Amino acid sequence: MKFVFYTHSLISDWNHGNAHFLRGVMRDLVRRGHEALALEPLRSWSRDNLVHDQGRVVLDRFKDTFPDLRSQIYPPDFDHEAAMADADVVIVHEWTEPALVERIGKAKRDGGRFTLLFHDTHHRAVSSQGDIAGLDLGDYNAILAFGETLRQRYLKAGWGKHVFTWHEAADDSLFKPRPEVSKQGDLIWIGNWGDDERSAEIDEFLVQPVKDLKLKATVRGVRYPQHALDALNDAGIRYDGWIANAEAATAFARHQVTVHIPRRPYVEHLPGIPTIRPFEAMACGIPLISAPWDDAENLFRTGTDYLIARDGADMKGLLKDVLSDAALRDSLIASGLETIRARHTCRHRVDELLAILARCGTPGATQASAGREAAE
């Protein structure tokens, strides 16, 4: 089958976590013999910032890292109808411009033979409801929501006839333990500052515990204002800026522990959605300690696959325990890896996608799912 993905960017992961997951899904589809193409706009906030930050050479680095991935940049006068004419499946990410979301739906209504899915991987359904409510999704076959609470939001608001939960996951061909890499520090956090959605939490669950324990720590990410950089420096935390997501596994391998600090909208309004970084961290075999979040869908085994810190003082104590107890570290690593490998890789999500497409009546989806099961 031919899959066409409308995305904000496949090439850039600069403050754009959906690129992580989409790359893994597309790579698995290609490995199974399907065709996968990403279409991204000429003006992409993430890609523009990446080039400004790192230079255009970073675009060539993407091609070298992911030679199996195809992405096409479309200009304002792009012929979208022609691009979709031979597609079996078209998946439109929720950051796509509203007018284009509607245009793609019209192409389906006017006889497009493809199955059309809308993919939501953000919290705008609760933080900016008008943006989602204003989208014309009437011609879409189904909605893919990256958490059950988000799925319920769509159903309650009447934004889609058929809504499926489709969590993110780790591309375990990239995110895997690297035992050959030597340890160089105690703690690493890979995360962006963002829009003040977790500034207090970063201070409580990262900066202050590291400062009090005098840990050798590194932060990677973007959009840190000067006052945040000053706080990191005051705590003795090294700030190394943007990191290509494909290099995160090596960065994790150089450290003994990592933390997860959810953004406030997920904690307060969308329980059960961890976002993608915990999947990737556990897949890399690094112990994970999280600030509070509610694993409402039982994706993991709390206290076994990862630890939860109730507050900053608890985080400080758990960091001391993990860094001083090799047996505890080994247990968290083994349990986290077991759960990821059993339930949360991009292979699992492609299986789920094919099952959803089969329910939507997509020609070829049932055969693709059966072929996978026979191979296993």
Tokens representing 277?
A: 């970084």
> What CA–CA distance (Å, rounded) separates 184 from 156?
49
In a domain, 361, yes or no: yes
Residues 319 and 192 in one domain: yes
Q: List Cβ neighbours of 318 (8 Å cut-off, separation of 6 or more).
A: 289, 307, 309
Residues 129 and 21 in one domain: yes
Provide the angle, in degrees to the nearest 10, between the axes of the packed helices 18-31 and 346-359.
Answer: 80
Q: How many domains, in total, are found in the chain?
A: 2
Residue 234 belongs to domain with CATH number: 3.40.50.2000
- Summarize the confidence of residues 241-251 as an average pLDDT: 98
- Summarize the confidence of residues 341-354 as an average pLDDT: 98
Residue type, 89: V
In a domain, 63, yes or no: yes
Q: Which domain holds residue 156?
A: 2-169+345-375
In a domain, 175, yes or no: no
Output helix, strand, coil percentages for the chain, rounded to the nearest 5.
45, 15, 40
Residues paired with 143 in a beta bridge: 118, 163
Residues 207 and 232 in one domain: yes
Look at 265 and 41; give whichever has higher pLDDT: 41
- Summarize the confidence of residues 1-27 as an average pLDDT: 97
Exposed, middle or buried, 311 (CB in 10 Å: 0-12/13-18/19+)? Answer: exposed
Tokens representing 167?
A: 């969590």
Residues 106 and 117 in one domain: yes
Confidence at residue 370, expressed as pLDDT on a 0 to 100 scale: 53
Residue type, 195: D
Q: List Cβ neighbours of 324 (8 Å cut-off, separation of 6 or more).
A: none
Q: Helix or strand or coil: residue 274?
A: coil
Confidence at residue 131, expressed as pLDDT on a 0 to 100 scale: 84
Q: What is the mean pLDDT of the chain?
A: 95
The proportion of the chain whose per-residue pLDDT surpasses 70, expressed as a percent, equals: 97
Confidence at residue 364, expressed as pLDDT on a 0 to 100 scale: 87
Residues 128 and 259 in one domain: no
Confidence at residue 161, expressed as pLDDT on a 0 to 100 scale: 82
- Using the predicted structure, report yes or no on whether residue 374 has a pLDDT greater than 60: no
In a domain, 179, yes or no: no
Q: List Cβ neighbours of 193 (8 Å cut-off, separation of 6 or more).
A: 199, 202, 221, 222, 223, 224, 225, 228
Residue identified by tokens 């993905």 is 5
Tokens representing 68?
A: 């199996």
- Summarize the confidence of residues 362-376 as an average pLDDT: 65
In a domain, 180, yes or no: no
> What CA–CA distance (Å, rounded) separates 307 from 300?
11
Confidence at residue 228, expressed as pLDDT on a 0 to 100 scale: 97
Of the pLDDT bands very low, low, confident and very high (cuts 50, 70, 90), residue 194 is confident
In a domain, 119, yes or no: yes
Confidence at residue 330, expressed as pLDDT on a 0 to 100 scale: 98
- Secondary structure element (H or E) that encloses residue 164, with its range: strand 163-165
Residues 339 and 279 in one domain: yes
- Summarize the confidence of residues 249-278 as an average pLDDT: 95
Confidence at residue 372, expressed as pLDDT on a 0 to 100 scale: 54
- Using the predicted structure, report yes or no on whether residue 373 has a pLDDT greater than 80: no
- 8 Å CB contact between 209 and 312: yes
> What CA–CA distance (Å, rounded) separates 134 from 63?
36
Look at 367 and 3; give whichever has higher pLDDT: 3
**Half-sphere exposure of residue 310, counting CA atoms within 13 Å on the CB side?**
3
For 2, 351, 354, 355, 368, the CA distances from 363, given in Å and listed in that order, are 11, 16, 11, 12, 10
Confidence at residue 375, expressed as pLDDT on a 0 to 100 scale: 41
DSSP 170: B
Residues 59 and 122 in one domain: yes
Residues 306 and 316 in one domain: yes
- Using the predicted structure, report yes or no on whether residue 202 has a pLDDT greater than 90: yes
In a domain, 176, yes or no: no
Tens digits of residue pLDDT in 283-336: 999 999 999 999 999 999 999 999 999 999 999 999 999 999 999 999 999 999
Q: List Cβ neighbours of 44 (8 Å cut-off, separation of 6 or more).
A: 8, 9, 12, 73
Q: Is 363 left (phi over 0), alpha (psi -120 to 50) or beta?
A: beta
Considering Cα of 356, then 358, then 359, then 360, what sign does the dihedral take? Answer: positive
Residues 355 and 218 in one domain: no
Tens digits of residue pLDDT in 75-118: 999 999 999 999 999 999 999 999 999 999 999 999 999 999 99
Residue 343 φ/ψ, nearest 5 degrees: -140, -20
Tens digits of residue pLDDT in 110-164: 999 999 999 999 988 888 888 898 999 999 999 999 999 999 999 999 998 899 9
> What CA–CA distance (Å, rounded) separates 318 from 39?
44
State the pTM of this model. 0.95
Confidence at residue 369, expressed as pLDDT on a 0 to 100 scale: 62
In a domain, 177, yes or no: no
Residues 327 and 310 in one domain: yes
